[in-house]
Amino acid sequence: MEKISLSREELHDLVWSKPLSHLSKIYGIADYELRKICREFDIPVPQNGYWQMLKYNKPVSKIPLAPITDENKKITLHANAQENGEKISPSQTGIENILNAPRDPAKVPEVLTKPHFLTLETKRHWADFNLKRYEYDRSIPYLSIRFEKPNQNRALIFMDALVKLLKQGTQSNH
């Protein structure tokens, strides 16, 4: 992991030389985090439309860096966005838990056993649809999936396994 130390002047010049979105890709930090760091150190950033105006040779003005009392303070950027304070969403950690689980990957069974609530409701929805008693205003949630008729049971079994796996991954977080 690479740490980059910059002075306020260096970061100011950097922010005004390239768009924040480009800098965020270079340094591996989200652009809103970079903007937050600039706000924290009282470094002005280009306003919306600045880069478009510059592209089409319109007159633009660079906001000068305001002097502060502690000029020796260095700004450290980490290549890893988590160390810069970026938060990871619970859904992202749930996905990572599922992908990095020490057990074997989930296997889809041949038959449906102990189906999840959504799986049962999906099966009921299909039965209603086949009997022409289909209601468009169905308030009970179900899985909206498309499949070929011969694969109906396999699709239901697969979605049941997927829902159970996702539920298991999110429950391991809490």
How far apart (Å, rounded) are the C-alpha atoms in residues 165 and 98? Answer: 8
Final residue belonging to a domain, choices 56, 84, 112: 84
| Whether residue 57 is found in the same domain as residue 22 | yes
| Whole-number pLDDT of residue 69 | 72
Pick 77 or 19 by higher pLDDT.
19
Return d(Cα 59, Cα 43) in angstroms, integer. Answer: 21
From the centroid of its chain, how far is CA 121? 29
- The answer on 116 and 61 residing in a single domain is no
Query: One-letter amino acid identity for 172?
Result: S
CB-based contact 99:51 (threshold 8 Å): no
Q: Which of 32, 65, 84 is the last residue of a domain?
A: 84
Residues 98 and 76 in one domain: no
State residue 81's pLDDT score: 46
Residues 67 and 95 in one domain: no
Give CA–CA dist 85/158, Å, rounded: 38
Greater pLDDT, 132 or 68: 68
Let me know: does 60 contact 50? Beta carbons within 8 Å.
yes
- The helix or strand, by DSSP H or E, that contains position 5, with its residue range, turns out to be strand 3-6
Name the most confidently modeled range: 1-5, 89-93, 99-103, 161-165. 161-165
Residues 111 and 63 both lie in one domain:
no
Q: DSSP label at 77?
A: E
pLDDT digits (tens, 9 = 90+) for 27-64: 888 888 889 989 988 999 999 999 999 999 999 999 99
Q: Could you say which of 84, 104, 126 is where a domain stops? A: 84
Q: Does residue 27 share a domain with residue 12? A: yes
What's the predicted TM-score (pTM) here?
A: 0.46
Give 78's strand partners: 3
**Residue 86: φ, ψ to 5°:** -70, 135
Q: Report which of residues 100 and 82 the model is more confident about.
A: 100
Residue found by looking up tokens 């160390």 in the block: 83
Pairwise pLDDT comparison (116 vs 95), residue with the higher score:
116
At residue 13, the pLDDT reads 92
Q: Are residues 99 and 158 in the same domain?
A: yes
Domain containing 95: what range? 90-171
Comparison of pLDDT for 135 and 152, the residue scoring more: 152
Total number of domains in the chain: 2
pLDDT at 49: 92
